[in-house]
Amino acid sequence: MRNRQASNRLNFKTVSGQTTCLDPVRSDGINRGNIMAVREILQLGNPQLYMKSKPVERSELPSVRTIADDLHDTMVAFRDKYGFGRAITAPQIGIMKRIVYSHTARPLVLINPELYDLSGETFALWDNCMSFPDLLVKVIRHKTCSIQFLNLDGELVEHKLEGDAAELLQHECDHLDGILAVQRAIDDKSIALRSQKDWLIV
């Protein structure tokens, strides 16, 4: 769940502890123009982040759209505050199901994603995460991989990934298995404060 580009700034308000924003685009790309809820993102140290998520059953598919909308709303609010964020997972908002919501060029919901054909060629990068927004972690990711998942209609979809898309979804699928980027740090000098990013070398 990471991006170096900020979204257009939105207006948010909090009433009785519930944060809402006016954002017309939801997980399915339909313009509804309604008020949306923003969920709390679990932060580093919360034991739930280290738990493995359960697959979504076919009978649960109708409820995934609501979860995806919550993920969208939460990510938009995070982007507005921190200026990055490309994807987020259900366990990061406390829902222990294998669901990823990504929004780069267009919104995409991945249900029960599975990675395969991970390349032997790898590359290093400084990774970030919505669950520890003030940190950067140097990790190794596979340069290319393939992924299969169910879409919101329950159809099986397959994609070949490379570069940014490959590392992004490796990060997100780790979340579904209870693995955080800090656990994949290359060495003991591979965790840094975001405020010190100008000093970092890949």
For residue 93, which of 40, 141, 16 has the smallest C-alpha distance?
40
For residue 152, which of 106, 100, 111, 114 has the smallest C-alpha distance?
111
H-run or E-run covering 172: helix 163-176
Distance CA 181, CA 127 (A): 7
**Three-state secondary structure call for residue 111:** strand
Q: Which long-range contacts (CB under 8 A, 24 or more apart) does 30-38 make?
A: 36/69, 36/72, 36/73, 36/76, 37/70, 37/73, 38/12, 38/73, 38/74, 38/76, 38/77
Of the residues 40, 60, 167, 172, only one is catalytic, namely 172
The tokens of 115 are what? 């990675």
Find the DSSP H helices in 7-104. Answer: 61-82
Q: Annotated catalytic, 114?
A: no
Residue positions annotated with a catalytic role: 172
